[in-house]
Amino acid sequence: MRGKFRAVAWGLAAFGLCLATATIVASDIRQAPDSRPLIACAVTWVGREAEFEAYLRTAEFTRMEDVPVGVTKPRRGFFEPPGPIVSFAWKLLPPGLKSGYWESYKAEIAAYELDKLLGMDMVPPTAERRIDGDLGAVQQWVEPVTGWRIDEPVRGPEPEWSKRVNRMKLFDLLSGNIDRNQGNLLYDGDYHLILIDHSRAFTDKKDLKNIAATSRVDAWLWSKIEALTREQLQAALGPWLREKEINAILARRDKMREAIGQLVADRGEAAVFIR
């Protein structure tokens, strides 16, 4: 392989230890006979979050190019090699109402910070950066990955795949994310579920439109969500969210607790919780 390796990172992900190279030139990835990249794990940041965040904020990049998909019109930047991150998504979205939706680059950072607070390791490192005078969100461009249509079955290893899918659903309910779709739902060759594009999440709305679709609950993540305090949320998300948006997180959590409690009352804990 021609690409240079700067470091080898061990990340404890949902399906066990994941050996991944922190730096790899995308064009140099060799292909297995079934066309799946031999380097299957894309979760390279676990245990190195502070390093990756600092790199996103300060590292030199060589060029930017338009991304042909995405209603929020992100751009893709490429860092000067070598480094722990090859490229990044750049999203310039000043907080405001656009096309009937409240959007903000700050919500992208809030999603990453909430992911860290919960210990999910599903949202890639994201930070604030000024580029050409504009403040926006920079997020690690994760690859190699595959887009997943949520209405089409993916046969990942069980029970871990079902846990990861349910964690995504719980995270979207808690964050008020209304824009989960096949363009922002990714998985790598080791079936790690990777969540991107949260610019329409974390509004002050307190309803749970998709709660009816949640019939099973990952016990581990729900225990983390239940334990969240206002003080923790304020410390982690305060720089990125308004007070009414943090209040809405807590209100949605209360409604989740009520709905999950009703599920348990109707069906019993064993039928509801995934352990």
pLDDT one-digit tens code per residue, 164-183 = 999 999 999 999 998 887 77
pLDDT at 6 over 70: no
| Domain boundaries of the chain, sorted by first residue | 8-274
**The model's pTM:** 0.85
The answer to whether the CB of 32 falls within 8 A of the CB of 24 is: no
pLDDT at 128 over 60: yes
pLDDT at 21 over 50: no
Please state the rounded mean pLDDT for residues 101-105: 93
**More confident: 40 or 216:** 216
Please state the rounded mean pLDDT for residues 125-135: 97
Token digits of residue 9: 């990172």
**Among candidate residues 158, 58, 174, the one with its CA nearest the CA of residue 123:** 174
**More confident: 12 or 268:** 268
Q: What is the pLDDT of residues 222-263, one digit of tens each?
A: 999 999 999 999 999 999 999 999 999 999 999 999 999 999
pLDDT at 213 over 70: no
Q: What is the pLDDT of residues 144-163, one digit of tens each?
A: 999 887 777 788 899 899 99
Taking the C-alpha atoms of residue 209 and residue 30, their distance in angstroms, rounded to an integer, is 43
| DSSP assignment letter at 57 | H
Q: Band of the pLDDT at 72, cuts 50, 70, 90? A: low
Please state whether 164 falls in left (phi above 0), alpha (psi between -120 and 50) or beta.
Answer: alpha
pLDDT at 19 over 50: no
Q: What is the pLDDT of residue 136?
A: 97
Percent of the chain with pLDDT over 90: 70
Determine phi and psi for 113, rounding to 5 degrees. Answer: -65, -40
Q: What is the pLDDT of residue 265?
A: 95
